[in-house]
């Protein structure tokens, strides 16, 4: 079972939240889990009555601490491609 974590435990959480707002201001971060086997964080986003889950590698989030523009672009692409994909969103 993946361990649920708080936003304070996630490296560069504020940057992820900022990028989400840029993509769609109505998306809310519901829960975050740490996936030990993949060394990644699994974000669950909710919009209206639909849920989308996106895995973000820990290395990427840790690299964002210095506001690296290349890594910010990579994060934006990862989030945008996942959140814009219709298969990501499932009705809850």
Tell me the pLDDT tens digit for each residue of 58-91.
999 999 988 889 999 999 999 999 999 889 999 9
What does the domain layout of the chain look like in residue ranges? 3-91
Determine the pLDDT at residue 86: 86
Determine the pLDDT at residue 66: 86
What's the CA gap between 41 and 32, in Å, rounded? 7
What is the arithmetic mean of pLDDT over 2-6?
93
Asked if 54 and 1 touch (Cβ cutoff 8 Å), the reply is no
């Amino acid at each position: 079972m993946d361990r649920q974590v708080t936003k304070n435990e996630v490296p560069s959480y504020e940057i992820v939240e900022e990028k989400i707002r840029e993509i769609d201001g109505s998306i809310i971060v519901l829960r975050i889990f740490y996936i030990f086997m993949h060394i990644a964080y699994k974000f669950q986003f909710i919009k209206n009555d639909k849920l989308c889950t996106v895995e973000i590698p820990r290395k990427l989030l840790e690299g964002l601490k210095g506001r690296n523009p290349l890594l910010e672009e990579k994060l934006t692409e990862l989030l945008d491609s996942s959140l814009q994909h219709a298969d990501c969103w499932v009705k809850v």
